[in-house]
Amino acid sequence: MSVENPEVTAIILAGGKSQRMGSNKALLKYGDTTFIERQIARLSKIFHEIILSANDASIYAHLPLPVVPDVIPGKGPLGGICAGIMRATNYYTFAVACDMPFLSEKVILHLRKFITDYDVVVPRTERGLEPLHAFYSKNCIAPMQQCLKEGRLRVIDFFSEVKVKIVNEDELKAIDPSIQPLLNLNTPEEYNTYCNLKNPSL
């Protein structure tokens, strides 16, 4: 692939404790399949390499993908993203949380357009930055590792040390008018509200 359109590895973050949901969000049903299977189906249209970030590989033994444990267990999504970036064969990665079942290929490809000029390409919605639906380069590894060592565990804590492109919600809505691509489900109530949504892009 050309320098202007480099290969990218996708990392699905599936190692969370899902405390508010009460069960593993990656394995929640959406229609006839699970969240993570829907994500894999969508991401495989864009990325040739997909990695699962999780500490218990046995849970995902039925999926034909490598499972990468955290370098330092118990450090949350930052540790999972860092481990995935280190394992990825490509310089750029796209990291996404397993509780986002409504991924939009158009939105992902739009964000991907900026990666060669930045170390992080991250959307911003009314909730703030969305680092669990963002692109990262391997240049992020060292500052991520430093944050992990210092106990600064928000994913955005290292952003000041790298080159970051923020893509605002209005720009993304021009690509996909719904907020579904960036919707994450954390509670049984949210799951019951959205699990029957009919997304025309899926």
Contact 133, 123 (CB under 8 A): yes
Give which of 102, 131, 117 is closest to 196, Cα–Cα. Answer: 102
Give the whole-angstrom CA distance, residue 94 versus residue 96: 7
Considering its fold, how many domains does the chain have in total?
1
Q: Which helix (H) or strand (E) holds 191?
A: helix 188-194
Within a domain: 33: yes
- Asked, for residue 199, whether it belongs to a domain, the answer is no
Band the pLDDT of 38: cuts 50, 70, 90.
confident
Q: Please indicate, yes or no, if residue 15 is contained in any of the structural domains.
A: yes
**Nearest partner of 62 among 17, 27, 110, judged by Cα:** 27
Residue 175 counted as domain residue = yes
Which is more confident, 23 or 106?
106
What's the CATH number where 178 sits? 3.90.550.10
**Per-residue pLDDT at 30:** 73
Q: What is the mean pLDDT of residues 138-149?
A: 97
pTM of the model: 0.88
Domain that holds residue 145: 8-194
Closest CA to 122 of 182, 71, 78, 70: 182
Cα–Cα dist 178/98, whole Å? 19
What are the CA-CA distances from residue 165 to residues 109, 115, 190 (Å)? 15, 8, 30
Residue 151, in any domain of the structure = yes
Task: Let me know if residue 3 belongs to a domain.
Answer: no
Residue 200 lies in a domain: no
pLDDT digits (tens, 9 = 90+) for 58-102: 888 889 899 999 878 888 899 999 999 999 999 999 999 988 888
Tokens 């991401």, residue located:
43
Inside any domain, residue 18: yes
